[in-house]
Amino acid sequence: MNFEALFLSFRLAAIVSLLLLAISLPLAAWLAFGRWRGRFLLEAIVALPLVLPPTVLGLYLLLAMGPRSPLGRLWQSAFGHGLAFTFEGLVLASLLYSLPFAVQPLVSSFRNVDPGLLAASSVLGASPLRTFRRVVLPLSFSGLVTAFVLSFAHTLGEFGVVLMVGGNLPGVTRTVSIAIYDSVQAFEYADAGRLALLLLLLSFGALAVVYAVNRRAWSPWSPR
Amino acid sequence: MTPSALTARVRKEYRSGRRTTFVLDVSLEIPPGFTILYGPSGAGKSTLLDCVAGLVQPDAGRISAGGLTLFDSAAGTNLPPQKRQLAYVFQSLALFPHLSVVDNVGYGIAHLDPAERSEQVRAILESFRIGSLGARKPDEISGGEKQRVALARSLVTSPRVLLLDEPLSALDDEVKSEIVEDLCAWNAARRLPILYVTHSREEVNALGERMIALDGGRVVGEGAPADVLGALASRKSAAKKRAPQISGGPVSA
């Protein structure tokens, strides 16, 4: 089994899903509670990776990271190497690609919090930030788990964007899904099969966790 | 005007497209003690409370409580709910389901140091006879106990005014009168203005020192409960007598 690719994928997925959680909390709060009328435009932008072919997203990202782009030049001057075909580039691409998988569960669980509780919190003297921390976040536990697990699983399984932005460099950008593709190309079906089965089981496990949490089969707040 | 009174002059219009669907237009002064806000559903009672609490912004008017201006359209003042120092017990109670009774009650006094906070929480739980419930969550206590927790949570913040939106409507009479007794005992020394919303005549008769009747967004009666209810009843029967002539329909013997 290709442990190098497996380890790389897990490292990528862990970093991306943690970063995404940090980025998505304020973004989702703004989408859920903001009063700006043009909010739907931002919602559409966040959801774009759901419908765009990964190659399209990958192409634009590749151009944006290229040596002649502002981002590419900035990265070059800061770190001495380009962004495309690196692990960091892969992280950046995955952040965008998995963004809706983190933001949308959070938005829907924030919107599900009883508005009466938010009103009670503010009448009791809590600032909006304190209301968010003490009421909205704890009551959105299932949304937080869903956001983390889905963005982790989605990053673990991505193929098109990784291939476009990261290429296929062993130990740097060759993720599990690309390793599977390589094995199939080389007629090494046994290797491909083992990795594929592992991904299948992991994805099933992740979804089982998501559905269990959302059915409130378990949550830290329920006495049962 | 008594300095600790609540005064509210409020106008709020609700529109659906170009059509005005509801207008709340009232001017009232709530002195210390119980004042019942009575009226049918849709009279604007909850909207008025939401305006006072800062959850709904009036189109125009002025609201002040205990000498503090909460809202003044002319001066451009509009304090957010968290700055108004009011207590508001909602019909739904809105207890935080993930917090214990102690944490619910301590929520509004988080700025105090922990020892002071737990002492105040303990004292108010005792005075509302729920001292033994501290560690439980809201879904582990009875309806009457929930009402007491909601009251204690609001009152521990030393508010300027207490707003109660039909908080006891779901309870049986015995529990209801016990809670009202505790509330009156609590308020005897403090003399806060308490605005108590209800659409039940029984509650008016049980609680009333003073009442304001609201209908269609306007004040239609103000004074001692017996007088206001009497005036409303005679107006209603007069309207009934007039109704057949207005509609021109057949009058049956």
Average pLDDT, chain A: 90
Q: Which of B46, B49, B55, B162 to mutate to test the interface with A (most CBs of A within 10 A)?
A: B55
Beta-strand ranges (E) seen in chain B are 6-16, 19-30, 33-38, 60-65, 68-72, 77-78, 87-89, 162-165, 193-198, 211-215, 218-223
User: Is the model more confident about A139 or about B190?
Assistant: A139
Q: In this complex, is the C-beta atom of B142 within 8 Å of any C-beta atom belonging to chain A?
A: no
Is the pLDDT at A109 greater than 50? The verdict is yes
Residue B3 is predicted with a pLDDT of 56
**Tens digit of each residue's pLDDT, chain B (253 residues):** 455 899 999 999 999 888 989 999 999 999 998 899 998 888 999 999 999 999 999 999 999 998 899 999 999 999 999 999 999 999 899 999 999 999 999 999 999 999 999 999 999 999 888 889 889 999 999 988 999 999 999 999 999 999 999 877 777 777 787 888 888 888 888 888 999 998 877 777 777 678 999 999 999 999 888 888 888 888 877 777 776 554 444 544 4
Answer whether B82 sits within 8 Å of A223, measured CB to CB.
no
Structure tokens, B112: 């105090």
- Amino acid identity of residue A29, one-letter, is A
Summarised one tens digit per residue, pLDDT across range A174-224 is 888 999 999 999 999 999 999 999 999 988 998 898 888 888 644 555 544
Q: Which of B107, B121, B140, B156 to mutate to test the interface with A (most CBs of A within 10 A)?
A: B107
Residue A100 is predicted with a pLDDT of 96
* ipTM attached to this prediction: 0.86
Structure tokens, B92: 């739904």
Backbone angles phi, psi at A142, to 5 degrees: -65, -35
Residue B102 is predicted with a pLDDT of 95
Q: In this complex, is the C-beta atom of B53 within 8 Å of any C-beta atom belonging to chain A?
A: yes
Cα separation, B93 vs B41, whole angstroms? 18
Residues sharing a CB contact under 8 Å with residue B132, sequence separation 6 or more, in sequence order: none
Residue B153 is predicted with a pLDDT of 95
Query: Once rounded to an integer, what is the mean pLDDT over residues A22-30?
Result: 95
Residue A216 is predicted with a pLDDT of 64
- Of A126, A138, A221, nearest to B82 by CB-CB distance is A126
Structure tokens, B19: 């059509």
Residues sharing a CB contact under 8 Å with residue A6, sequence separation 6 or more, in sequence order: A176, A179, A195, A198
Give pTM, 2 decimals: 0.84
Per-window interface: B 167-196 vs A, CB < 8 A: none
| Pairing assessment for the beta strands B193-198 and B211-215 based on DSSP bridges | unpaired
CA dihedral A36, A40, A41, A47 (to 10 degrees): 130
Residue A131 is predicted with a pLDDT of 96
- Amino acid identity of residue B200, one-letter, is S
Residue B144 is predicted with a pLDDT of 87
Structure tokens, A38: 């043009």
User: Is the model more confident about A101 or about B204?
Assistant: A101
| Pairing assessment for the beta strands B68-72 and B218-223 based on DSSP bridges | unpaired
Nearest C-alpha of chain A: how many angstroms from B120?
15
Within 10 angstroms of residue B249's Cβ, the number of other Cβ atoms is: 9
